[in-house]
Amino acid sequence: MKMKSFSKMATAFLKKTVAQRVPILQWGRSYDSRKLVCDTIAGITVGLTVMPQALAYATLAGLEPQYGLYSAFVGCFVYVIFGTCKDITIGPTALMSLMTYQQVMGRNTDYAILLCFLSGVVQILMAILHLGVLIDFISIPVTVGFTSATSVIIAASQLKSLLGLQISSSGFLDTIQKVVQNINKTRYTDCMLGILCILVLMMLRKLKNVKLNAKDEKPTARQKHWNTIFWLIGTSRNALVVMICSAMVYFYEASGLTSPFLLTGTVRPGLPSFQLPPFHTVLNNQTVPFTEMVSELGTSVILVPVIAVLGNVAIAKAFASGAIIDASQELFTLSMCNVIGSFFSSMPITGSFSRSAVNHASGVQTPAGGIFTSILVLLALGFLTPCFAYIPKASLGAVIISAVIFMIEYEVVKPMWRSSKKDLVSTFATFFFCLLIGVEYGILVGVAINIVFLLYPSVRPTVFVETATTSSGLEYLMITPGNSLYFPAVDFIKTSVGKAGVSSNHLPVVIDCRFILGADFTAAKGISALIDEFSIRKQPLYFFNTREDVVSVFQGVLDEDFKYFKTIEQLEIALKDNEFDDSNNETGKLLYDSEAEYCTNMWRKSSAELREICNGEGNNLNHRLNTQQR
């Protein structure tokens, strides 16, 4: 019987765990034809958006264009099975492309694929060890500075495509310097095409929000039809611009003329082969082992997966519509997307906010919309790759710039200034360090500044000092520390309380511990020394509102001199008893003071007589010496 009950419990636990970690088993049961139609429309719409973006982001990452498409379909398939948010679409993003480029620069594609695999492994470890809490150390001010800086870096990196310059650069400053040095080599046809594409993309972006009906009026059937057309055109603007530019180049070359634009070039046709990630590579005719590859990837092995998780969870929360997001499940899902993607030559991927917004606006009902996005990308890899060779680089650069320019969050500076000016320090520090020394180090600087701001109140907590009065009219000094009492703050609290006690004209001192949520051994030793100091001065020191765990820490070091009270009534009784003791001691003190004064006067009289005797002897001695000399 026990074995059967244990078996039933184990089976129930297994079913619950599988259902929790494989969400498709839950929403798949209620899937119907209506949801299928909605997911199909949304999936195709996102597919039209992701194809030109994938080609552009692969170029941004320093890879051949087809790697962007390789990265665009695997994540969508995996997220259908393990994902929890119906709106999220997984694939290449501008941020991941930029961080990949910094690792691929001067190397080969194998580093990008290995980085994808290692990112997935790190994310799996984070999910198993429940280290998603590390994401909480990247605050909104740091995120704002980071995303704004990366947007500027990405836009600057596309200036060469926009101007038709054939240069290679590393970093923001190097890019700006080389663009300025080679500005005289600008291809005006590429420049004009790029600017025109940006203008068209901006106008089409506004077109998707155009409504023929007034806000307070219900649209007619005709108006609804045209509103939908405007929305589709605006949503598919990237694909439309790239297709029109490619068609123009195709007809231009078909007429026997050379293209006036720099083109993407040949895109390798066919699907990627399924193979293990590269655990070694050949670079400059030398074999580079796995350990050396990981060493060269450096901090990106940690930062890339952390930034990917940060973005993915933020998108999930944005589209959750009040639902609770399982961050651990999202972390696990993203790790699966990267690990499995690396077997198909994918670069690091994460959730895309722009494509997720398109997915949401398209009326997606379940994560199954990603299936149709993936199918569209696979069809493009199988049949449309010859057409991709005619895509002008200037049009892809315009697509990227038009996408990232709205990621510069300058509008948050004003409310941040009004609410918390110190947060601007971490925002601007992250922004400028990302531009000057690189995005990996920039975000570390921002996090370090945040940690300093977080720890400073623990080192220098606020100390409120006020004179209070009991119900019977007795005065005492109330001191309230504003933070927990751990070793960095012990000396500061001890000094602050000691100074307040000395300047209080011997009033009893009460330390209100309502904000002290924890303490350690160093704090207990510091409080012990403080009690001894007050005891020497015969000045009462009491503790009020002390938590039980804090009391146990203090009592581990202190003896019976540690006096604490839980209620104000107990505190007032102790203060009253202390006043009574002081009044009794005052009588003795007066007697003692009179005796002491008598002794002092007698001592002063004796001292005066002694001086007179000495002075007289001295004068006689001087007189004798003078007489002898004569």
CB 298 within 8 A of CB 427: no
Say if residue 24's pLDDT is above 80.
yes
Instruction: Report whether 361 contacts 235 (CB < 8 A).
Output: yes
The token pair at 372 is 């149709």
Whether the per-residue pLDDT at 12 is higher than 80: the answer is no
**pLDDT for position 321:** 65
* C-alpha 524: how far from chain center: 35
pLDDT for res 506:
83
Residue-wise pLDDT for 102-156, tens only, equals 888 888 999 999 999 999 999 999 888 887 777 777 788 888 888 888 889 888 9
> What digits encode the pLDDT tens for the residues 192-209?
999 999 999 999 988 888
The label of the residue with tokens 């099975």 reads: 81
Residues 276-331: tens digit of each pLDDT: 999 999 988 899 999 999 999 988 999 899 889 888 877 787 777 666 777 788 88
pLDDT of residue 559: 66
Q: Hey, what amino acid is at 298?
A: G
Q: What is the largest CA-CA distance in the chain?
A: 140
List Cα–Cα distances, 17 to 21, 160, 375, in angstroms: 6, 51, 30
Give the least confident one: 450-454, 573-577, 604-608. Answer: 604-608
State the DSSP code for 384. Answer: I
Asked if residue 619 belongs to a domain, the reply is no
Pairing of strands 564-565, 541-544: parallel
- 511 neighbors 541 (Cβ within 8 angstroms): yes
Question: Final residue of a domain: which of 562, 580, 598?
Answer: 580
Backbone angles phi, psi at 464, to 5 degrees: -95, 125
Higher per-residue confidence, 579 vs 603: 579
pLDDT of 586 > 90? The answer is: no
Residue 351 located in a structural domain: yes
Residue 576's domain comprises 461-580
**Among all chains, which residue has been given the structure tokens 């933070």?**
483
Q: Tally Cβ neighbours within 10 Å of residue 50.
A: 31
Q: Which pLDDT score is estimated for 628?
A: 39
pLDDT grade for 581, boundaries at 50, 70 and 90:
low
Based on the domain organization, do 276 and 332 belong to the same domain? Answer: yes
197 and 342 fall within a common domain? yes
Among the candidates 444, 473, 500, a domain finishes at 444
C-alpha span between 403 and 60 (Å, rounded): 13
pLDDT of residue 627: 41
Paired tokens of 75? 């994540």
Report the C-alpha dihedral over residues 496, 497, 503, 506, rounded to 10 degrees. Answer: -170
Q: What angle do CA 195, 230, 59 make, to 5 degrees?
A: 40
Residue 521 within a domain: yes
234 and 116, same domain (yes or no): yes
CB contact set of 373 (below 8 Å; sequence gap of 6+): 43, 44, 46, 47, 50, 72, 73, 76, 89
Identify whether 548 is part of a domain: yes
Would you state the pLDDT for residue 583?
56
- Grade residue 19 by pLDDT with cuts at 50, 70 and 90: confident
Q: Are residues 414 and 485 located together in one domain of the fold? A: no
- For residue range 59-84, list pLDDT tens digits in order: 889 899 999 999 999 999 999 999 88
* Domain boundary pick from 417, 444, 471: 444
User: If we measure between CA atoms, which residue out of 349, 428, 374 comes closest to residue 92?
Assistant: 349
- Of the candidates 116, 124, 51, 118, the one whose C-alpha atom is nearest the C-alpha of residue 346 is 116
CATH code where residue 482 lies: 3.30.750.24
Q: What is the average pLDDT across 170-174?
A: 84
- Render pLDDT for 255-281 as a digit per residue (tens, 0 to 9): 888 888 988 888 888 889 999 999 999
Residue 610 has pLDDT above 80, yes or no: no
Q: Is pLDDT above 60 for 592?
A: no
Based on the fold, state whether residues 92 and 223 are members of the same structural domain.
yes
Q: Who wins on pLDDT, 17 or 25?
A: 25
Q: Judge if 477 and 420 occupy the same domain.
A: no
365 with 481, same domain: the answer is no
> How confident is the model at residue 630, as a pLDDT?
38
351 with 385, same domain: the answer is yes
Residue 121, domain member (yes or no): yes
Same domain, 419 and 481: no
Residue 461 pLDDT > 70, yes or no? yes
d(C-alpha 448, C-alpha 142), whole Å? 10
In-domain check, residue 393: yes
Residue 228: its pLDDT value, please? 86
- For 190, the 3-state DSSP assignment is helix
| Domain shared by 178 and 240, yes or no | yes
- Asked if the structure places residue 12 within a domain, the reply is no
Within a domain: residue 539?
Answer: yes
Q: Which pLDDT score is estimated for 289?
A: 93
The H-assigned helical ranges of 438-489 are 439-459
Using an 8 Å Cβ cutoff, are 347 and 63 in contact? yes
Mean of pLDDT over the chain = 84
Distances from the Cα of 135 to the Cαs of 228, 352, 366, in angstroms?
Answer: 39, 18, 27
Tokens describing residue 137: 């150390």
Indicate if 78 and 126 belong to the same structural domain. yes
Together in a domain, 28 and 155:
yes
Q: Is the pTM for the entire model greater than 0.85?
A: no
Confidence of residue 2 (pLDDT cuts 50, 70, 90): low
Please count the structural domains in the chain.
2
